[in-house]
Structure 1
Amino acid sequence: MGAPKKADWREERRKRAWELKRQGWKQKDIAGALGVTEGAVSQWMTSGREGGEEALKAHPAKGATPRLTAEQQAQIPAVLAKGASAYGFCGDIWNSRRLAVAIKREFGVSYHPDHCGYLVRKLGYSMQKPVERATQRDEQAIKCWKTQRWPHLKKSRAGTPHDSLCR
């Protein structure tokens, strides 16, 4: 079955403290026996007195409700499969900003681009970062420079630069 969740053992510890208090134990002794502070035991006892044993149970963490429903989140892979160009972007590469725009168009929900990256990772995908290069870039000239010019510009082992091919 696997190990119990953290909330489960903490809940059991609170219930055990409640049980020990009912048996007449002092809060100081309960804290020592359970390895917690007296303040923690005091808070548990207050909760128990006010809400009974129900108040000692684990409660799911509170947080903001997701803006996208689980069904909508499950549709994100389909949005990605359409490709970025289907949403008016140049090229089919996705990034967080583009996905934020696509989610807004598809579902009418605004998300910060950083959160879009989180959503995608949660679904088991990863965002691509486009390589931004100048449109005037000349790959042949770069290759030539790296193989012919650069070796002559590097310093020799003695510390003096090589003579360059052209100045």
Structure 2
Amino acid sequence: MRYAQGGGLSHERRQFREGIRMMAAERFAAGEPSSAIAKELRVSVRSIQRWRRLWDRGGPRALQSAGSASLPRLREAQFAQLEAELAKGPVAHGWPNQRWTLARVKTVIGRRFHKSYTLQGARKLLLRHGFSCQVPARRAVERDEDQVTGWVKETWPQVET
């Protein structure tokens, strides 16, 4: 199953979904119909039917979350180190410009932690930790925001007319 956020569910989201399944289990025990449970919990009837079959076989314990599909390759402490490395910039790691690409991030992970990631794996790792894939606007180092604002307010209206 694919998730929009690219990388599965967070621990909090997994716990939230498990809570919904446990509420359904309480209603199974009360003998409520699947359609009423689905409407109340705002899930599909098919999910309720699947959960009911699991509950019939193993009780509420069968509806508990199984946890992550796999352990993350980089621990939180290692990811913090990776963040520090990324903050240094690509030039500090030997690339000619200041643009991070997935291939470069993947290479830094391999060099620093001796872990192998695919490009998509590196992308999902970064997305899970709040990074975006947007390219920042290029701004001159010498740019003075006060002067730009003054120019837009004073000079630009005269140029327009």
TM-score if structure 1 supplies the norm length?
A: 0.54
Alpha-carbon distance in 2 for matches of 1:48, 1:109: 40
Runs of 4+ in 1 over 6 A off after TM superposition: none
Residue 55 of structure 1 corresponds to which residue in structure 2?
Answer: 62
Taking a change above 3 Å as real, the CA distance of residues 34 and 114 of structure 1, as seen in their structure-2 partners, is closer
Q: Are 2:30 and 1:19 aligned?
A: yes
Taking a change above 3 Å as real, the CA distance of residues 75 and 53 of structure 1, as seen in their structure-2 partners, is same
Give 1:34's aligned amino acid.
I
- The Cα shift of 1:42 comes to 7.4
Alpha-carbon distance in 1 for matches of 2:59, 2:36: 22
Unmatched 5+ stretches in structure 2: 1-14, 39-43, 136-161
Contact 2:22 2:60 in 1 (8 A): no
Match of 1:68 among 69, 74, 81: 74
Alpha-carbon distance in 2 for matches of 1:98, 1:90: 12
Residue 88 of structure 2 corresponds to which residue in structure 1?
Answer: 82
Q: Are 2:10 and 1:7 aligned?
A: no
Computing the radius of gyration over CA atoms, which structure comes out larger, 1 or 2? 1
Unmatched 5+ stretches in structure 1: 21-28, 130-167
- Number of residue pairs the alignment of both structures matches: 116
Give 1:90's aligned amino acid.
P
Higher relative contact order (CA 8 A, sep 6+): 2
Q: When you count helix as a share of all residues, which structure comes out higher?
A: 2
Match of 2:33 among 30, 33, 39: 30
Alpha-carbon distance in 1 for matches of 2:105, 2:50: 49
Give 2:69's aligned amino acid.
G
- The Cα shift of 1:82 comes to 2.3
Identity among equivalent positions (%) equals 27
